[in-house]
Amino acid sequence: MDAIFCTAETASGRVRGLVNGGVRVFRGVPYGASTADKARFQPPKPPKPWKGVRDCFGYGLVSPQVATDLANTYGQLIHFDLASAEGGMGEDCLHLTVSTPGVADNGKRPVLVQIHGGGFAISSGNSPMYEGALMAQRHNVVVVSVNHRLASFGFLNLADVGGGGRFASAGASGLLDLVLALQWVRDNIDRFGGDPGRVMILGQSGGGWKVSSLLAMPAAKGLFHRAAAQSGSWLRHLTRDEGAAVASALLQQLGLTRRTAPRIAEVPWERLLAAQTRIGALAFAPVLDEIHLPRHPFDTAAPEESAAVPLIISTTTHDTSLFFDNFDLTEAGLRSLLGAVYGAHSERTYAFYRRLWPDERPYLLHARIRTDAGFRRMAQRQAELKAAQGHGPVYAYRWNWTSPPWEGRFGAAHAADVSAAMGNVRDTLLGSGAPTGRRLAEALSGAFAAFATTGDPNGPGLMAWPRHSLERRETLWLDETICVVENPDPEICDFWADAPPVRGIFD
């Protein structure tokens, strides 16, 4: 029996998990109380203590959301629909999963807290891509993945549309959940063999947005000691006016007015989910306030709250290929798409990129252009601000390796480096065990483990990875060959330098 089950103490009660290959895995561990009923739109509270031993064999509930369409090609690639299926759905969603090589052993292992992607709207820490057991086994670290409130449940500015002081924190609830999760790690992770003084937060895409947000959040200061934003550099929150406009649209969908706005707390979550879906779940994002989010994360300067925290920033070559499935795009179709986005500058954009990549398929060239204009510009700006701050170091990398599935049509795909960083070599994005995928996963997961341990991704037997400086913009390139490139793509940087200030991934 000892080889199958394991137990650990938490501040709320004892939990029981499963052992596999020497790794102890606890799924669905409560770090907060239910956010239903009177707790909806309120700051999260610690879980209620329980008696006896709580079985943590299966994932906890995920925040209400609509599953990714089964017809979505990228969704099929990464099994995105499973992220909202594993564990069920509901407002009692403040749960986390812990994977650790040992419990109650004074292991003092570095801790990686994985914050899931999906914008601020969908997905969960239950997704297979965030599985931490292999990382824990290979690198002797503790991995924690977290569920939290999403979309209208976690980011709704009710305070400025009639909600008043009762809902003053509603625009930041989802981030406050993550703060509570980090407090849980601080107070409990030593019982799971982890070191509360060596906590790394990491997230890709929307997870990177949340990491960027936590870097500037006063309540999160001191709860983590290293960070990584993978294809997820977030520069600006919604303003109060922008957040109020989204909240007003939701109230209208629900048949509520400014006077009756407080009744939104009584609406069944299924109806609230349907209403947010009609206006678009991606419209919801953290909202500036004077309480929890007093400033934009990376706008004009890097946040002082995390000045000493070492940071990794990354993108992939074709990040935005996840948004499109027009694989048979023609040259004429590409020019038409660019015209719809860039207007009078579209032909200049087309000619510039076609000169640099004369043989790239129109679909991938489109993805490259949109990535450079949005994801990459935001990442470059975040790296520049962090480097200019001159305190904690910043390291940059670019994932350039083409993912093998679907005949490589997605190129260097969005999220391929998530599995690599976690050492999940069996993931489809890495070719389900393909030799190059295994080699890149070994290199990147080793660097991330070192970074979690010391704040430096370098170490014995690891690839050399210099700091990113303003003068040389050193960037690690991950492809068939791993190398460091100084001042990568200077022409592209100059090309987008005179574009309007970047606000989103599609600017």
pLDDT on residue 504: 60
For residue 323, how many other CB atoms are within 10 A of its CB? 12
Q: Is 186 exposed, middle or buried (0-12, 13-18, 19+ CB in 10 A)?
A: middle
Q: For residue 91, is it within any domain?
A: yes
> Which structural domain, as residue segments, surrounds residue 101?
5-306
Q: Are 56 and 17 in contact (CB under 8 A)?
A: yes
Kindly report, residue by residue over 360-411, the tens digit of the pLDDT: 999 999 999 999 999 999 999 999 999 999 999 999 999 999 999 999 999 9
Q: Report pLDDT digits (tens) over 323-364.
A: 999 999 999 999 999 999 999 999 999 999 999 999 999 999
| Total of domains in the chain | 2
What is the number of alpha carbons within 13 Å of residue 446 lying toward its C-beta?
A: 14
Contact 375, 231 (CB under 8 A): yes
CA distances from 234 to 225, 239, 308, 378 (A): 19, 14, 19, 7
Given 279, 306, 333, which residue is the final one in a domain?
306
Contacts of 191 (CB under 8 A, 6+ apart): 8, 9, 10, 103, 104
Residue 504 lies in a domain: no
The answer as to whether 45 is a domain residue is yes
* Interval 184-202 mean pLDDT: 98
User: What are the angstrom distances between the C-alpha of 391 and each of 310, 328, 386?
Assistant: 8, 47, 8
Q: Over the stretch 468-478, which tens digit does the pLDDT of each residue have? A: 999 999 999 99
Q: Is the same domain home to 277 and 319? A: no
Whole-number Å distance between alpha carbons of 404 and 502: 31
Q: To which residue do tokens 């980090």 refer?
A: 182
pLDDT at residue 23 tops 70: yes
Q: CATH number for the domain including 417? A: 3.40.50.1820
In 3-state terms, what secondary structure has residue 247?
helix
Q: How many CB atoms lie within 10 A of CB 445?
A: 22
Whether 301 and 316 map to the same domain: the answer is: no
For position 501, what pLDDT does the model report? 62
Among 272, 291, 306, which residue terminates a domain?
A: 306
Q: CB count, 10 Å around CB of 270? A: 11
Q: Is residue 505 part of a domain?
A: no
Which residues, listed in sequence order, are joined to residue 483 by a DSSP beta bridge? 477
Phi/psi of residue 480, nearest 5 degrees: -50, -35
Residues 223, 367: one domain? Answer: no
Cα 242 versus chain centre, distance:
22
User: Could you read off the pLDDT of 419-453 as tens digits, one per residue?
Assistant: 999 999 998 899 998 999 999 999 999 999 999 99
Q: Are residues 272 and 369 in the same domain?
A: no
Assess whether 235 and 366 both reside in one domain.
Answer: no
Which among 253, 286, 306 is the end of a domain? Answer: 306
